[in-house]
Structure 1
Amino acid sequence: MSLTDEKDSEFSNITENNLNRIHNTVSKVGYSDGITNGRESVFQMGFDTGYEKGFATGFELAKYKAFYDVMNKSSSAPETLKSEGNLYEQLNTPTATDKSHFMTGANDEVARLSQQQSDYLNEKKSLFAKDLPIATSLFSR
């Protein structure tokens, strides 16, 4: 074997070792980046969905509370609205930010929690439509 063949063989081994190190490093970084990107996209989707559903629930509940607070303080409010305001008070609806209005679960899927939140809000809206028809009709215009 000649000196040139030994140098070529040694160079080939060094090149192959370097290529393997680079390949392993890139694979680890790519795997890590993939996990991070997947985690971020899932968390972002969950946050976006939760924010949307939570805002809709809070908004719907808060507008009734604010409406009846104003009506009860107004001296010129019609008696029908004042009596409806009394019915609202009897419903004992917690404040719009109370945790009891929002679906939570450590291992629940976002889609399932989102559906539960929508169902809860629809039940509340139906209850208000039945018990508080004047305000509900004002809000639906």
Structure 2
Amino acid sequence: MSQDNSSDDETDFRAVNIANYERIQKKVAKINYADGIADGREQVFQYSFDQGYADGFRTGLELAKLQAFYDTLKAASIDENLAKENENFQRFKLAKPTDKTHFKYLEHQSEPLSVVSEKQKEYVDDLLERCVQSLKITTNLFKAK
């Protein structure tokens, strides 16, 4: 009788061990899945942030340079050519560098980041090209030599 009991106990013990092992495996799989999702999300968010930051920084910097230059010229006595360029710049009627109208992500929210970034680059490049055409002296001052 004691041998039958020990055989049943071993069978029960194995069944419990197998059940516990499967339960632990399921929990570990769920935790690893959640960790994988979180890591993937974090990588995507970081890349998106980095790209958006670079695009926004370039846009703000380029616009702020021109805005600050012409704001400084208002207080200074300037030659006739720079005065004409100042008038040309004022005709652009650009919003402040941080204004949302300069940032194309609002117009392309449903599109991939690469498309939004390209649209932002095109916007800034086009704006800078218009500045080069109208503000030759000023933009020449900002060129690296």
**Equivalence for 1:93:** 94
In the TM superposition, what whole-angstrom CA distance separates every residue of 1:48-84 from its partner, at most 9, and x where no partner exists? 1001100100100110011011112102x22211110
Runs of 4+ in structure 1 over 3 Å off: none
Is structure 2 residue 139 aligned with structure 1 residue 136?
yes
Identity of aligned residues (%): 35
Correspondence for 2:117 among 111, 114, 133: 114
Which residue of 2 is the match for residue 71 of structure 1?
Answer: 73
TM-score, length-scaled by structure 2? 0.92
SS in 2 for 1:2: helix
Match of 1:33 in 2: 35
Return the letter of the residue paired with 2:125: N
One-letter code of the match for 2:93?
A: N
One-letter amino acid of the structure 1 residue matched with residue 76 of structure 2: S
Gapped regions of structure 2 (runs ≥ 5): none
Q: What is the CA-CA distance between 1:107 and the residue it aligns to? A: 2.4
Q: Structure 1 length normalisation: TM-score?
A: 0.94
Question: Helix, strand or coil for the counterpart of 2:98?
Answer: coil
Is the 1:72–1:82 contact (alpha carbons within 8 Å) kept by the matching residues of 2?
no
